[in-house]
Structure 1
Amino acid sequence: MKKVISIAMVSLFWMFSCQQTAVPVTTKAAVTDTISTPKKEAKLIANDAAAILAQKEVPILCYHNIKDFSASAGEMTKTYTVKPANFAEQMKALADAGYHSILPDQLYNYLVYNKALPEKPVMITFDDTRGEQYSIGAAEMKKYNFKGVFFVMTVSINRPNYLSTAEIKDLSDSGNCIAAHTWDHHMVTKYGGEDWNTQLVKPKARLEEIIGKPITDFAYPFGLWNAAAIPEIKKSGYKMAYILSTKRDSIDPLFTVRRMIVSGNWSTDRMMKAMETTFSNTK
């Protein structure tokens, strides 16, 4: 009987030993080998001014008023006002031609870091805070999934026929870009002393308060700029500034980005041809 018990105990011992040795042993080295080392992201190298100027320009349209006017209206009105029906026709023409709207952050990354843009990019911008830019402009663009850039004069906010704080916030929340256009549209070339704070810093802070996002873009009133303004604009926290269809600065092209005013005198066909001609080269 004792012999039988002894044989059984030996059998159990060997069975237990086999089960123990069947479990693989994981060493510290083995665990380390299974952990993948995160790859370091390549550091982006920014283009210099010459490389930015060499990039093909993106068409940037500039609208002001969108409303009807009579044949007897003055030339200034006709130049700066596009009739609602014509604006609608122009947006449709852009969509039919295969254009895709882009926003300033996309333009910045394209110019500075060579990031890709959609096929046939266009930027659609609005100056001077007019109310119809929201009620007509944004509504019409929405039909084609276009987004726009709205350059706001903060002195005009909440005045009759101008954008309200609620409309500005809604434009931003809907994916459009809100940008600065000074406090009261005084020419940058005449600034001095406290003007920089009044016209650049405070409007930026006011708009950021309304939309809860950084304001990074600025449009010069009348498209006029000078070399003295650019350091002040940079110091105020803007990344790009926009002129009209004049020559860009060879030192600071990001602060002299060109736009084209869309005249109310133009047919849609002429607008399309003017856009293609204005932005047909890289200089």
Structure 2
Amino acid sequence: MKNYIACLILGLVILEGCQSKAEETSKEDAPQKTTLVNAVAKETEVQKVTNDAAAILAKKEVPILCYHNIKNFDASAGPMTKVYSVKPANFATQMKALSDAGYHSILPDQLYEYLVHDAPLPEKPVMITFDDTRGEQFSIGAAEMNKYGFKGVFFVMTVSINRPNYLTSDEIKKLSDDGHVVAAHTWDHHMVTKYTGDDWNTQLVKPKKKLEDITGKPVTYFAYPFGLWNKEAIPKIKESGYDMAFILSTKRDSIDPLYTIRRIIVSGTWSTEGMMRSIESSFDK
């Protein structure tokens, strides 16, 4: 019995010694492991691609659709109404067609990472955007996209918020909370090519702040009214805190392509098949 107890005590002493040795070894190895992890992280950070303007322009463009009004109109409607308005039934058909064709909606953050850092995109990406703050973009547009898991970008001109037939502050907040992106479209839709003096603050800075106050999120994307831009506007847009700016279907700037991202207006005169063909023909690089 005494021998048994002696052996048991000896075993416990040896076990304790092994545990102490293991703990000491672990403590000695910890700094080396931390150093290795930091080195790998640093190497990964160093290897992250940052594309210049030429590399961005060389990348395949992502189709970006631009909607304005979603409302019914008849044959007597003027040409501007017919171009800038898509009937609700047609909008629904177009969203279904995109889904059936295997398109996946993406948002500006994803586009930025793809263009600048070569981040991957889903197969057949498309961006769905809305200009001018119309109320049916929430009641019809977002509701229809939700059926297919699509998320969109809503470019808001802040002068219209809470006016009849326009988006309310609550709707804008709801869109943001639901995963859509709320972005700026100036205060009152004056073209940036005409700005002087305090116009930049009125049209770029203040709307950004107002939308951030509503959504509680940074607003870092901007769409030019009428799609019109000039080189003089780009530095002002950068200074105002925007990371990308969106035009329509004109040529991109060779120096600042991130501030001339192309979109196409979806015309109310197009059939769904015509809209799908336009995606391919307009962004066929």
TM-score (norm 1): 0.92
| 1:211 is the counterpart of 2:223 | no
Which of 155, 161, 171 is equivalent to 1:151? Answer: 155
Aligned counterpart, 2:169: 165
Identical pairs, percent: 68
- SS of residue in 2 equivalent to 1:69: coil
* Distance (Å, rounded) in 2 between the aligned partners of 1:57 and 1:250: 14
* Per-residue deviation, 1:28: 3.2
Aligned counterpart, 1:175: 179
* Distance (Å, rounded) in 2 between the aligned partners of 1:112 and 1:66: 33
Gaps of at least 5 residues in structure 2 are none
* Per-residue deviation, 1:259: 0.2
* Distance (Å, rounded) in 2 between the aligned partners of 1:192 and 1:179: 22
Q: What's the Cα RMSD here? A: 1.8
Aligned counterpart, 1:46: 50
Q: Write the letter of the residue equivalent to 2:279.
A: M
Which of 261, 264, 269 is equivalent to 2:268? Answer: 264
Aligned counterpart, 2:198: 194
- SS of residue in 2 equivalent to 1:182: coil
Number of aligned pairs? Answer: 273
* Distance (Å, rounded) in 2 between the aligned partners of 1:30 and 1:127: 59
Which structure has the bigger radius of gyration? 1
Contact 2:49 2:118 in 1 (8 A): no
User: What per-residue deviation string (whole Å, max 9, x for no partner) do you get for residues 167-201 of structure 1?
Assistant: 00000001100000000000000001100000000
Aligned counterpart, 1:142: 146
Aligned counterpart, 1:20: 13
* Distance (Å, rounded) in 2 between the aligned partners of 1:132 and 1:139: 10
Aligned counterpart, 2:123: 119
- SS of residue in 1 equivalent to 2:41: coil
| 1:33 is the counterpart of 2:29 | yes
- SS of residue in 1 equivalent to 2:119: coil
Contact 2:106 2:151 in 1 (8 A): yes
TM-score (norm 2): 0.91
Which of 49, 52, 75 is equivalent to 1:71? Answer: 75
Aligned counterpart, 1:106: 110
Gaps of at least 5 residues in structure 1 are 1-7
Q: In the superposition, relative to structure 1, how do residues 14 and 113 fare at CA in structure 2: closer, same or farther (>3 Å)?
A: closer
* Distance (Å, rounded) in 2 between the aligned partners of 1:15 and 1:222: 87
Q: Structure 1 or 2: larger helix share?
A: 2
Of residues 134-143 and 31-40 in structure 1, the stretch that sits farther from structure 2 once superposed is 31-40
Contact 2:105 2:127 in 1 (8 A): yes
Of residues 144-153 and 13-22 in structure 1, the stretch that sits farther from structure 2 once superposed is 13-22
